[in-house]
Amino acid sequence: MERIIVVGSGFSGSIIARMIAEKMNKKVIVVERRNHIGGNAYDEYDENGILIQRYGPHFINTDNYSVIEFLMQYSKLFRHDTKLLSYIDEQYVRLPFNFRTMQQLVGDKKSEYLLKQMRAEFAGRDRVAIFELLKSNDDAIREYGNLLFEKAYKTYTAKQWGLNPDQIDKSVLERVPMAMNYDERYLNKDFQYLPINGFTKLFENMLNHKNIEVRLNCDAFDHISFDYEAKKIKYDNKDVDLLIFTGAIDELFSLKYGRLPYRSLNIKYDYYDEEEVLPCEIVSYPQAPGYTRQTEYKQIAFERPVCNKTVVATEYPVEYTPDLETGNIPYYPVLTSESKCIYEQYVKEAESFGNIVLCGRLAEFKYYNMDVCIEHALEKFNEIKLLLEE
């Protein structure tokens, strides 16, 4: 019988474990260092019955309905179009920036000309990257693009990545869209959903299989060792046939080629004796000192708990420092030519064993949205199947 170990119980690890257990009828051990399953999508109810996503707000959004169908095997989902406002110059404006935002920021009179010009220049397109506005031949469109950069993106991006605003290049707007209409949905994907009873319940159902054993509070690094000469992986000194690793790849090899850089978040919670306090479920604050976003979780619940209390989570981007009490969770990979080079050395090392499968945002040092992460884990399973059938 094979010994298959999956490290990590986020989307990547849980999906692969379930697939191996169900489709191949093989036993899998899932090792999770936290005291809960679900990775960064973990959520829990607080004492007021409000469902809080402890690692920041997550919304499933995809153009690929098969992702939704896949998740529906493990939880009922409800449609939820994510809505965001941004607080700029002491007023709330809609995100994504759309025609209404333009009217709010430059006034109706000025926007009349801009609307006409944009409709002509970007005819037939729902969304256009703000970077394209900056490259327009029309002075007014370019000026509006610059205004968005200065007021919304320069300082936000600087806070997010811990940089000086002057270091922020306009190319950050290459993938930031503006809606060429009055569309109020933040995300431009066809299918936007959330699990009715939360992500953790979905993970519980996914991992609930006779062939899966989940070990919480268990750091894989206390158990894994490598025999470099024989190219063997050991878990508690016994051979492992297949290691599916979804944790941080630099940690797997004891940082031997250096630490991979990440940004982290310090999330602070404030409770209010009120029904609701924010004008929208998420508000971004490009101009505020230190923090970037606030989320009022009550507003994204399938059924809003009846209580005159609410909680707001405020995100403070911080440097990733594994040994400190705050900022010790790697959130966003900092992709530079140097970090990519370090990452490649770890991948080579992993490949030299022949039976380590790297999957997920930490093991592959990539920012994955959940939909991409889910599709990717299912693809990885197909590779694993071939490996196990060899």
Ligand X SMILES: Cc1cc2nc3c(=O)[nH]c(=O)nc-3n(C[C@H](O)[C@H](O)[C@H](O)COP(=O)(O)OP(=O)(O)OC[C@H]3O[C@@H](n4cnc5c(N)ncnc54)[C@H](O)[C@@H]3O)c2cc1C
C-alpha distances out from residue 12 to 135, 189, 360, 361, 378, Å: 39, 22, 5, 8, 9
Residues 327-356 that bind ligand X (CB under 6 A): 331
Q: Which stretch binds ligand X (CB under 6 A): 9-17, 118-126, 301-309, 381-389?
A: 9-17
Site string for ligand X, 265-294 (x = CB under 6 A): ------------------------------
| Between 56 and 121, CB nearer to ligand X | 56
- Contact with ligand X (CB under 6 A) among 6, 32, 194, 212: 32
Tell which phi-psi region holds residue 51, choosing left (phi > 0), alpha (psi between -120 and 50) or beta. beta
- Contact with ligand X (CB under 6 A) among 6, 17, 19, 39: 39
Q: Which stretch binds ligand X (CB under 6 A): 43-51, 147-155, 214-222, 295-303?
A: 214-222
Q: Considering the complex, what minimum distance in angstroms separates the CB of residue 7 from ligand X?
A: 5
The candidate with the shortest Cα–Cα distance to 215, out of 370, 83, 18, 37, is 37
Residue 177 · residue 59 · CB < 8 Å: no
Strand-pair category, 262-272 with 293-296: unpaired
| Between 148 and 252, CB nearer to ligand X | 252
Q: Considering the complex, what minimum distance in angstroms separates the CB of residue 168 from ligand X?
A: 20
The answer to the question of residue 40 lying near ligand X (CB under 6 A) is yes
Helix, strand or coil, per DSSP, at residue 105: helix
- Minimal CB distance residue for ligand X: 39
- Contact with ligand X (CB under 6 A) among 4, 5, 6, 11: 11
Q: Considering the complex, what minimum distance in angstroms separates the CB of residue 18 from ligand X?
A: 13
Q: How far apart are CA 136 and CA 233, in angstroms?
A: 56
| Token pair 């911080």: residue | 318
SS (H, E, C) 315-374: EEEEECCCCCCCCCCCCEECCCHHHHHHHHHHHHHHHCCCCEEECCCCCCCCCCCHHHHH
- Contact with ligand X (CB under 6 A) among 10, 195, 198, 261: 10
The answer to the question of residue 189 lying near ligand X (CB under 6 A) is no
Taking the alpha carbons at both ends of the chain, their separation in whole angstroms is: 14
- Contact with ligand X (CB under 6 A) among 41, 71, 134, 312: 41
Chain Cα centroid distance, residue 338 = 23
The answer to the question of residue 215 lying near ligand X (CB under 6 A) is no
What are the φ/ψ torsions at residue 5 (nearest 5 degrees)?
Answer: -115, 130
Q: Considering the complex, what minimum distance in angstroms separates the CB of residue 264 from ligand X?
A: 9
Q: Which stretch binds ligand X (CB under 6 A): 83-91, 130-138, 297-305, 364-372?
A: 364-372
| Between 84 and 141, CB nearer to ligand X | 84
Q: Considering the complex, what minimum distance in angstroms separates the CB of residue 178 from ligand X?
A: 20
Chain Cα centroid distance, residue 212 = 26
For residue 233, what are the contacts with CB-CB under 8 A and spacing of at least 6? 224, 225, 226, 227, 239, 240, 243, 353, 355, 356
Q: How far apart are CA 70 and CA 60, in angstroms?
A: 12
Q: Which residues bind ligand X (CB under 6 A)?
A: 7-13, 31-34, 39-41, 56, 58-59, 219-221, 246-248, 331, 360-362, 368-371, 373
